[in-house]
Structure 1
Amino acid sequence: MDNGIILPADCLGFYSIPLDDGCILTEAWLNEHSDFRRPVRPYLYVTIFKTGFDHGILVYKVIVERDTPAQLVYMIVKDEKLLVTCNAGTNESFLSRHAYFALHRGMNYHHQNDFSRYNWFDFFEKGKKKSKYLDVICDRQGLDINLKKKYHNFWRRGNKLFCFKEGEELSERQLPVEPYPNKPDPVDNEVLGYFITAPIWGNYCEHIPILVPYIGQLNKGGKDIRTYTRMLGPDDVDGPLWTERQWVLNIICFHMADIAWLAEQKVWCNKISSEAEEIASRRAQIFTLWHEVWPYLATMLFIKFYGSTDRGLLRGKPNKRNVDRAVLSDQSPKICFKLRDCKQYYELLMFVKVGKRVFTPSKFSGIFFVRSDNEPDKYYLWDSIQDVRLAAFFGIYNYGFLVLRCHFNGVFASFIERLSVQYEFL
C-alpha cells in the first residue's frame, strides 16, 4: 500500500466503505456491506480490543468463539472513506466476520460509529511509525490520540468548513443617532438601565444574547449603580422613569425575549435538522433588533453586561456578582485573515480590525459581539449575520487552525478563495 506501510502477508487487500459526513459509519450502512450479523444468542464469545495506532493504522485484536486464535483487523480513515482489512479473509470485495464485529463494536446509542478520532493517516510521514504531530498512548485503559501542544487545532479532510449563504454578507449597521442626555433624571434616586445578557462561558451555550431593562439605585455621586433592584418584564408596560426613547427600547427588549425563548425551547426540546432553519431565522431576527437598538445604547448611561447561562434567570432581582462594566462602541469591526506557509502545513488565523487596530477576538465575546482580551469591557457589534456565523466557526478552533499541505488543494483552497473575495488578508 502507499505511504510505505506493509501489512502482514496474509492480508489480501482493503475493503472500502464510504463514510457519512466524512467520518460516520451507521449500523444500517455497515449491514449493507456484509451479510454477517451479531447473533442474538448471548453465549457467542467475542472479545475485541485495540492494540495500537502505528503508521496511522488502527489495529484491533478480535477473538470470535473460545479457544480460537486471535485475528488482527486493520482500519484506515482516509479521504472520507474507511479502509478495512484483516488476516481472516477480508479483501477488496469481502468483509470478514472478524472485521464486521470490530466495526460493529463501536456503535453508540444512535447506532453510529464515529471514526473522526482516528482520521490521522496523513499525519504520519512515509515509513515512520510515529507522528511528530501526535501523542499516541495505547495501554490497558484504551487508546488516546491527541495533538501535541505545538500543533493545536488541525483541520482535516472530512471536517466541515464554513458554509456561505447568499444575502448574509449584507451589512445591518444603522446610522448613528443623537446622543442621549448624559445627566439622568432619576425618580426617588432610581434610574432605568439595560443589561447586555450573554452566557458566562462564552459562545458554548444555547442562551441567545438579548437586551434586558432593569431598575437600579444610584450611588452618592450619581454616576453609577449602587443597587440593582429588579429586571423588567412584559408586564412592566409603563413607568415614571421612562422617556419616549426608553419606552421604544423596552418594547424591543420584550420582543427579543419572546423570539429567544421560542428558539431556545426548540434547541433543547427538539434537536433535529428540520428545526435548524427556524432557529437560525430567529437568531437572525434578534440580531437585526440588536442593530436597531445599538445606536441608541451607544449614547446611553448605565449599560451593563449580565452573565447568565439560562434565560429563565433573567427576572427578579439581579445578582450583582454577574454584573460587569460594558462600553458600547459604534465603530464597525471587520474580519480579516492571515495565511502563513509553514512548509509542511499552512496556518490560517482570524483577526478583527477596528480602524487601524488589529486584535484576536476574545472567546468570551458572545455570539453577536466581539471583544478583545485587552479591553474586555468594550463591545463591538458585528456588521452582518455572516460575520456572526464566521466568527462562531473560527471560535471552535480558537480563531486559528493548521492545514497539512496535502490537504490544502481542493475544498480548502476553494474556501480560501471565497474568503479572499469578501475579507481582507493581512
Structure 2
Amino acid sequence: MKSFERFVFEADDTGDLILSPQQLELNKLCFEMKRLASLQFRKSGDSPERDAEIKQANAVNKTEIFRLWHKALPMLVAQYFTHYLFTYGLRNVERKPMKKLMQLAAFSMEVPRLSFLLADKGDYYELFLRFKIKNRILQFGVHTQALFLINARQKPNLWYLLEAEQDTELVDFFGRVGFKIQVPKDYYETHFERYVMELEQHYEMEYK
C-alpha cells in the first residue's frame, strides 16, 4: 500500500469509487457507526440529572455500535487490504489518512472466550485475564485494545470481535492494569474472593 487518499465519511465521498454491493452495505453500517461514535461530555455546571442523561445516551450508543459491529464483521472479513487506525473518539481523524498511522489488519470470525487464571504467588494471589481461540490460550497484545475488538500478543494484527458487551467491560478494566491483578492473601478472602466467585459463574477460571 503506497498511500491513502481520504477517509470516507458519507456516501458523497465515494463518488469516483467502484464499490461492490457488499462494500456499499458495509459503508452504510460504517456511516451509522460514525454517527453514533461521538461521545457526549459533561459540562461544568451540569446537574446530576444531566450527568445521568449523558451517561445513558453514551451507553445506548455504545450498545448500538456493538450490534452494528457484529452485523458488519462477516463483510469486513471478506475485504482485501484492511487497515486500522485508533481514532481516539474520532479526534484522530482528518481528511487524508496518515500512512504511518494506518496499520495492516486482518479480522477473524472466530469467537474469543475470556479465560481467567488465579495463581498462588506465596504472599499474594495474581488474577490473570487471557482469552481462548479454539481452546488455545492466548495472551492479550501489548498495545491498546480496541473498544469491541481484541488481539493477541502472538498476532497483533489479527483482530477478534468480542461476543458480549460484558466482555468489553472486563477487557477495558483489566487492560488498564496489564491484564493482571495482584491481591495480598490477607485481603483476598474478605474483599476479593466474592469477586472471583462471581467471575467463575460466567467465565472459565483456572487455579494454579
Do they fold alike, i.e. is TM over 0.5? yes
Does the 8 A contact of 2:83 with 2:103 survive in 1? yes
Name the CA shift for 1:226/1:269 in 2 (closer, same or farther; >3 Å). Answer: farther
Is residue 385 from structure 1 mapped to residue 165 from structure 2 by the alignment?
yes
**C-alpha displacement at 1:269, in angstroms?**
4.5
Number of the residue aligned with 1:356: 135
Structure having the higher Rg: 1
Structure 2 counterpart of 1:231, from 1, 4, 7 = 7
Name the CA shift for 1:269/1:368 in 2 (closer, same or farther; >3 Å). Answer: farther
* TM-score normalised over the length of structure 1: 0.44
Does the 8 A contact of 1:232 with 1:315 survive in 2? no
Number of the residue aligned with 1:256: 33
SS at match of 1:337: strand
Cα distance in 2 for residues equivalent to 1:399 and 1:414: 19
Q: 1:148-183 CA deviation, whole Å, 9 max, x = no partner?
A: xxxxxxxxxxxxxxxxxxxxxxxxxxxxxxxxxxxx
Is residue 286 from structure 1 mapped to residue 62 from structure 2 by the alignment?
no
Is residue 345 from structure 1 mapped to residue 121 from structure 2 by the alignment?
no
Cα distance in 2 for residues equivalent to 1:232 and 1:313: 14
**C-alpha displacement at 1:374, in angstroms?**
2.2
**C-alpha displacement at 1:235, in angstroms?**
4.7
Cα distance in 2 for residues equivalent to 1:234 and 1:268: 28
AA aligned opposite 1:417 = M
Q: 1:83-122 CA deviation, whole Å, 9 max, x = no partner?
A: xxxxxxxxxxxxxxxxxxxxxxxxxxxxxxxxxxxxxxxx
AA aligned opposite 2:58 = I
Q: 1:9-67 CA deviation, whole Å, 9 max, x = no partner?
A: xxxxxxxxxxxxxxxxxxxxxxxxxxxxxxxxxxxxxxxxxxxxxxxxxxxxxxxxxxx
Is residue 244 from structure 1 mapped to residue 24 from structure 2 by the alignment?
no
SS at match of 2:110: coil
Structure holding more helix per residue: 2
Cα distance in 2 for residues equivalent to 1:242 and 1:364: 31
Matches within 5 A, 1:318-333: 318-333=97-112
Cα distance in 2 for residues equivalent to 1:389 and 1:310: 17
Cα distance in 1 for residues equivalent to 2:92 and 2:195: 40
Does the 8 A contact of 1:238 with 1:247 survive in 2? no
Name the CA shift for 1:376/1:407 in 2 (closer, same or farther; >3 Å). Answer: same
Q: 1:372-424 CA deviation, whole Å, 9 max, x = no partner?
A: 22211111111110000011111121110111112112442111111111111
**C-alpha displacement at 1:314, in angstroms?**
2.5
**C-alpha displacement at 1:306, in angstroms?**
1.8
Structure 1 counterpart of 2:188, from 398, 404, 408 = 408
* TM-score normalised over the length of structure 2: 0.86
Structure holding more strand per residue: 1
Matches within 5 A, 1:122-271: 225-236=1-12, 239=15, 240-261=17-38, 264=39, 266-267=40-41, 269=43
Is residue 398 from structure 1 mapped to residue 155 from structure 2 by the alignment?
no
Cα distance in 1 for residues equivalent to 2:131 and 2:170: 12
Q: 1:129-157 CA deviation, whole Å, 9 max, x = no partner?
A: xxxxxxxxxxxxxxxxxxxxxxxxxxxxx
Does the 8 A contact of 2:128 with 2:179 survive in 1? yes
Name the CA shift for 1:341/1:379 in 2 (closer, same or farther; >3 Å). Answer: same
Structure 1 counterpart of 2:85, from 294, 306, 316 = 306
**C-alpha displacement at 1:268, in angstroms?**
6.4
AA aligned opposite 1:286 = I
Does the 8 A contact of 1:335 with 1:351 survive in 2? yes
Identity %: 25
Name the CA shift for 1:254/1:269 in 2 (closer, same or farther; >3 Å). Answer: farther
Number of the residue aligned with 1:423: 203
Name the CA shift for 1:358/1:277 in 2 (closer, same or farther; >3 Å). Answer: same
Does the 8 A contact of 2:37 with 2:89 survive in 1? no
Cα distance in 2 for residues equivalent to 1:277 and 1:310: 17
AA aligned opposite 2:76 = L
Cα distance in 2 for residues equivalent to 1:268 and 1:313: 21
Q: Which runs of 4+ in 1 moved over 6 A?
A: none
